[in-house]
């Protein structure tokens, strides 16, 4: 199998998995809304038949949609404000080189040139955001500008360009919004239970719902408790898969596996934390700036709670493209 067919197969797999995971999160929202309807009495179950109007189920879905719309049209600005980024101008030779590299990679990817932003931070890192390629942004740190040579910068920008081309920027924005929506709806459910004191549930039971109602109550309680955690884990899983694809696509754009390989090795050696990153933006960066050393561990639970695959695994995959597997161990020990 050729490298190009590897890229296409990986891209197709990631798209299918993401569609399934996003559909699952929508189903969780609908299930929480249905549980609220049963608890409040909007939906009644009598002798096995269901009656009433699913008002809160519809509200839950509308709530998620409104959140998504606000994020879709204003998310980019909010992200840039949260990390204190400002437009990148050609005021130095190094900054001009970044602008040139972004333009080169946009041509290689056959996309509009993204707007360029800069974070005044010594940690080498970068991220892309936006709702589509025509409204996309690539943001780099001053540390990345100071650390990377032209070839390494091409690898990093190629990685971010892949997130834009494959609409990862939109997917991650939507998933992040859904995760927040599920957490808020779960919190609302528990508050509703606390203030109603079970009065609604007793009324519904008297209508003859019996054991079926009790099962729905218990299932909704469990779902409300675990849904925010599951949703967060799902968001992390989506992010991890897309990092592998973006690494592969960077090689496709630059036609040079050395470029991103050397860039990741440089970032792996950096010990400077990225102070402006938050828990809400960490998954956007090429290397999660908030996970630190933990990101490089390969134990099951460390990976489960990470938004990025282990850096050593990413380096190993790039080395495999060069026909030199196994050399990432040296990087891990450095």
Gap between the Cα atoms of 141 and 289, Å rounded: 12
In whole angstroms, give the CA distance from residue 129 to residue 155: 17
Among candidate residues 11, 104, 152, 160, the one labeled active-site is: 160
Pairing of strands 49-52, 43-46: antiparallel
Calpha distance 220→318 (Å, rounded): 45
Packed helices 3-40 and 168-196: angle between N→C axes, nearest 10 degrees: 20
C-alpha span between 304 and 233 (Å, rounded): 7
Distances (CA, A) of 234 to 21, 23, 61, 261: 7, 11, 19, 27
Question: Which of these, 154, 25, 55, lies nearest to 97 by C-alpha position?
Answer: 154
Residue 123 phi, psi (nearest 5): -75, 130
**Can 151 be counted among the known catalytic residues?**
no
Residues marked as catalytic: 160
């Amino acid at each position: 199998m050729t490298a190009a067919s590897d890229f296409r197969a990986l891209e197709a797999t990631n798209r299918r998995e993401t569609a399934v995971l996003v559909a699952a999160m929508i189903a969780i929202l609908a299930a929480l809304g249905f549980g609220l309807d049963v608890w409040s009495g909007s939906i009644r179950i009598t002798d096995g038949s269901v009656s009433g109007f699913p008002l809160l189920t519809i509200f839950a879905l509308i709530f998620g949609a409104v959140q998504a719309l606000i994020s879709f049209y204003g998310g980019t600005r909010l992200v840039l404000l949260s990390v204190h980024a400002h437009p990148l101008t050609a005021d130095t030779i190094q900054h001009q080189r970044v602008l040139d590299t972004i333009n080169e990679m946009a041509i290689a990817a056959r996309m509009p040139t993204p707007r360029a932003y800069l974070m005044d931070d010594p940690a080498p890192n970068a991220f892309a955001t936006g709702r589509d390629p025509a409204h996309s942004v690539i943001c780099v740190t001053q540390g990345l500008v100071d650390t990377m040579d032209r070839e390494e910068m091409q690898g990093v920008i190629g990685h971010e360009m892949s997130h834009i081309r494959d609409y990862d920027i939109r997917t991650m924005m939507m998933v992040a919004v859904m995760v927040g929506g599920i957490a808020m709806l779960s919190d609302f459910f528990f508050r509703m239970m606390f203030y109603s004191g079970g009065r609604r549930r007793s009324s519904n039971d008297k209508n003859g719902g019996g054991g079926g109602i009790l099962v729905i109550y218990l299932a909704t309680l469990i779902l409300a408790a675990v849904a925010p955690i599951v949703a967060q884990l799902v968001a992390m899983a989506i992010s991890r898969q897309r990092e592998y694809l973006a690494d592969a696509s960077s090689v496709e754009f630059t036609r040079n596996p050395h470029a991103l390989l050397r860039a990741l090795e440089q970032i792996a050696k950096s010990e400077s934390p990225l102070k402006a990153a938050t828990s809400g933006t960490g998954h956007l960066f090429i290397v999660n700036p908030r996970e630190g050393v933990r990101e490089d561990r390969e134990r099951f639970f460390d990976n489960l709670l990470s938004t990025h695959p282990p850096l050593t695994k990413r380096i190993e995959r790039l080395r495999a493209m060069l026909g030199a597997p196994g050399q990432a161990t040296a990087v891990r020990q450095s």
